Amino acid sequence: MRYWLSVFAASLVSFLFSGALYVFFHPPRDFEARSADISDTMSSSVSPVGRLGAVGVSARVNATPLSKFFENKEHSLLFVGDIMLSRNVGAEMELRNDYAYPFRKIADVLRSADLTFGNLEGPISDVGKDKHNLYSFRADPRSVEGLKISGFDVVSLANNHTMDWGEEAMEQTIELLRKEHILSVGAGKNAEEAGRPQIFDAGDSFRAGFLAYTTVAPPGAGALSNRGGVSETSLENMKKAVRELRDEVDVLVVSFHWGEEYEKRSGSEQQRIAYGLVDAGADIIVGHHPHVSQEIEKYKNGWIVYSLGNFVFDQYFSRQTMEGLMVKAIVREGRIIDIQSIFTPLTETYQPYVEN
């Protein structure tokens, strides 16, 4: 049973902020019609309490207390795609001497969610050695400020740019983020560390766990037992990690850097992996890397966001690359009950914003 949500239709989207919960209104017609179907399905499958019950019962894995979650019946997890703070974006910050500049128009929106996630495309560092990948990114250490003012809780480093300046730069990135209370997932000093989940504990409300993987890392960038890098492994290993995390959390998120660049629909390899991970117990797969957004699919009890596209990037050659998809998962009683999405266009100076 599949429900395809078209997220490519017209962009008449208005945005309301009401109390702690902001609501996305009037998505494209197609989206609206089909999301009604999904809500019906979901309401019948939502149990009275989350997988862990009203109180998180398991404490086997260290969890990070979530500080900014709101005391509501409904909670929100917000996902954005590729964040690239180097190249022209870096030049813009330097020119203006404002290292949070890319986030100025959208920080409030990002911060208003209980938990905020993005894919950090490239190290934030002033050390390391340029590995001369096709494009090598490295952002000024001061640019962590933008992630901080936006209230990011966790970023994925499992992508094709984290290792652009080698292990030293990757490790400094993790450290700089940690100092600002932003956790990372999907990279580390070895495969064990790169594959380790991050778990957030919102008191009695919910526990959310994150895993992150990539299938597009350049040669030598994948973490091994004795080598730092990004999390890149077999589908069997990923499914095993999902099954292990399943009992620890209410909401299980897998971030995935994958797919074909500039393709507006998912490919069979993405689908095969996504179905496997949902079958293993993942609640939501959030994809990125194609630089354009792709469709959202409801598959069994899981949601698959194939590509969020660019969030902060400098690919000004097409509308699709200058417009990301921001997705909000609504969590009630420990389960995702709905998904809402909105496009976030970028200004000419690489600032994403939400249209009024």
Interacting residues with Zn ion (CB under 5 A): 159-160, 289
Q: Which residue is nearest to Zn ion (CB)?
A: 289
- We find the least distance from the C-beta atom of residue 322 to Zn ion, in angstroms, to be 16
Nearer to Zn ion among residue 86 and residue 160 (C-beta): 160
Helix (H) or strand (E) holding 42: helix 29-45
- We find the least distance from the C-beta atom of residue 336 to Zn ion, in angstroms, to be 25
User: Which of 214, 297, 281 has the alpha carbon at shortest distance from 243?
Assistant: 281
CA–CA gap between residue 148 and residue 136 (Å, rounded)? 24
User: How many CA atoms lie less than 13 Å away from 75 in the CB half-sphere?
Assistant: 26
Nearer to Zn ion among residue 66 and residue 322 (C-beta): 322
Nearer to Zn ion among residue 25 and residue 135 (C-beta): 135
What DSSP designation does 252 have?
A: E
Nearer to Zn ion among residue 215 and residue 301 (C-beta): 215
Nearer to Zn ion among residue 35 and residue 143 (C-beta): 143
Location of structure tokens 């599949």: 2
Nearer to Zn ion among residue 159 and residue 293 (C-beta): 159
DSSP 3-state of 96: helix
What DSSP designation does 178 have?
A: H
CA–CA gap between residue 197 and residue 193 (Å, rounded)? 9
CA–CA gap between residue 288 and residue 261 (Å, rounded)? 10
- We find the least distance from the C-beta atom of residue 143 to Zn ion, in angstroms, to be 18
- Based on the number of CB atoms within 10 Å of its own CB, is 190 exposed (0-12), middle (13-18) or buried (19 or more)? middle
- We find the least distance from the C-beta atom of residue 220 to Zn ion, in angstroms, to be 16
Nearer to Zn ion among residue 251 and residue 286 (C-beta): 286
Nearer to Zn ion among residue 133 and residue 349 (C-beta): 133
- We find the least distance from the C-beta atom of residue 161 to Zn ion, in angstroms, to be 6
- We find the least distance from the C-beta atom of residue 213 to Zn ion, in angstroms, to be 13
Please, are residues 332 and 102 in contact by the beta-carbon 8 Å criterion? no
End-to-end CA distance of the chain: 35
CA–CA gap between residue 223 and residue 233 (Å, rounded)? 9
Nearer to Zn ion among residue 161 and residue 328 (C-beta): 161
Location of structure tokens 């700089």: 176
Nearer to Zn ion among residue 93 and residue 158 (C-beta): 158
- We find the least distance from the C-beta atom of residue 160 to Zn ion, in angstroms, to be 5
DSSP 3-state of 136: coil
Please, are residues 84 and 313 in contact by the beta-carbon 8 Å criterion? yes
- We find the least distance from the C-beta atom of residue 216 to Zn ion, in angstroms, to be 6
- We find the least distance from the C-beta atom of residue 147 to Zn ion, in angstroms, to be 18
CA–CA gap between residue 322 and residue 307 (Å, rounded)? 14
Please, are residues 228 and 170 in contact by the beta-carbon 8 Å criterion? yes
Inter-helix orientation angle 268-280/235-246, to 10°:
30
- We find the least distance from the C-beta atom of residue 54 to Zn ion, in angstroms, to be 39
Location of structure tokens 């019962």: 57
